[in-house]
Amino acid sequence: ATPTALLTGTGRGAQLGILIRGPQVLEDTRTVDTIVLDKTGTVTTGTMAVDDVVVQGEGSTATLLRLAGAVEAQSEHPIAQAIARHAAGTGRLPDAQGFSSAPGGGVRGTVDGSTVTAGRASWLEQNGIRPSAAQARAFGAAEDAGTTAVWVAVDDVVAGFVTLSDTVKDGSATAIGRLRDLGLRPVLLTGDNRAVALQVAAAVGIDPADVHAGVTPEGKVDVVRGLQAGGATVAMAGDGVNDAAALAQADLGIAMGSGTDVAIEAADLTVMGNSLEQVAQAIELSRRTLGTIK
């Protein structure tokens, strides 16, 4: 394509709310044949809702929720925002001190003199916390039922877990169909559990064999790299801190406009409307600009 055509394409993208980092990006987009989609916040709304608070140790549901909510209030993860919002609805949250977090893992901080840890099993383990077999069974059953479950420990002892659910965005299924029509193979990638990932995949028409669940942020990079090693040219769409490295590794990184700054910085293009329909539109735009489709 001529530089003029590329610039026109970039300008057209801007009109559509597709921000393209540079004209060259359109050139790179042309050959993409695989689209890796982050689940939470990309295929789904990312506005999660707390379904249940399960107490497994001492203390009440209210205490567990208040402590977890106070620490999660320091994190911008969709899970964190849902727990903090839910907890704040039941009363004012204390401030958490000494906050730390691991993207794709969980959070930790001190609330009212207690150390509170919330997150996935591997994050608990990193902090020397191990659920009993019975606790793990109950947690596993909640996951198998298709909810996102998050452990909560107080003073390094498991206190229980919170279950949450998310909603597939209107338009995700249609957009994934359009991406298929453009010749792209959709792949679902998530740090969340397999049962939830399979439910979402079924709702949007992604093959169960193309679902990667329970993946860490580094694991996301490995999945993209693996597809590339197999000969694929990979686009990746994501929104989280946990997606940034994979977005950078992909041949074409696409960020949701509502996503975190790190994701937007790592991406080649950003869709301001946060929809997969715009992702399909971006691919169509590049092909049209490059004369691959009319």
* Residues catalogued as catalytic: 38
CA distances (Å), origin 281, targets 58, 194, 277: 52, 29, 6
- How big is the CA angle at 215 (ends 212 and 217), to the nearest 5 degrees? 130
Structure tokens at 89: 């609805």
CB of 239 to Mg ion, least distance (A): 5
Structure tokens at 163: 């279950």
Structure tokens at 62: 């209210």
Convert residues 35-54 into a mask of x (bound to Mg ion by CB under 5 A) and - (unbound): ---x-xx-------------
Convert residues 168-187 into a mask of x (bound to Mg ion by CB under 5 A) and - (unbound): --------------------
Structure tokens at 61: 């549901």
Picking from 101, 76, 79, 104, the residue whose alpha carbon sits closest to that of residue 259 is 76
Length reported for the chain: 294
Q: Binding residues for ligand ADP, per CB under 6 A?
A: 38-40, 72, 75, 77, 79-80, 104-107, 118-120, 148, 150, 190-192, 240, 242
190 touches, from Mg ion, ligand ADP, none (C-beta below 5 to 8 Å by class): ligand ADP
CB of 293 to ligand ADP, least distance (A): 32
Strands 185-189 and 34-38: parallel
147 touches, from Mg ion, ligand ADP, none (C-beta below 5 to 8 Å by class): none
CB of 42 to Mg ion, least distance (A): 5
Picking from 177, 181, 200, the residue whose alpha carbon sits closest to that of residue 46 is 200
CB of 258 to ligand ADP, least distance (A): 13
Q: Is residue 284 within the footprint of Mg ion (CB under 5 A)?
A: no
Contact positions with Mg ion (CB under 5 A) in 195-224: none
Residues that bind Mg ion (CB under 5 A): 38, 40-41, 239-240
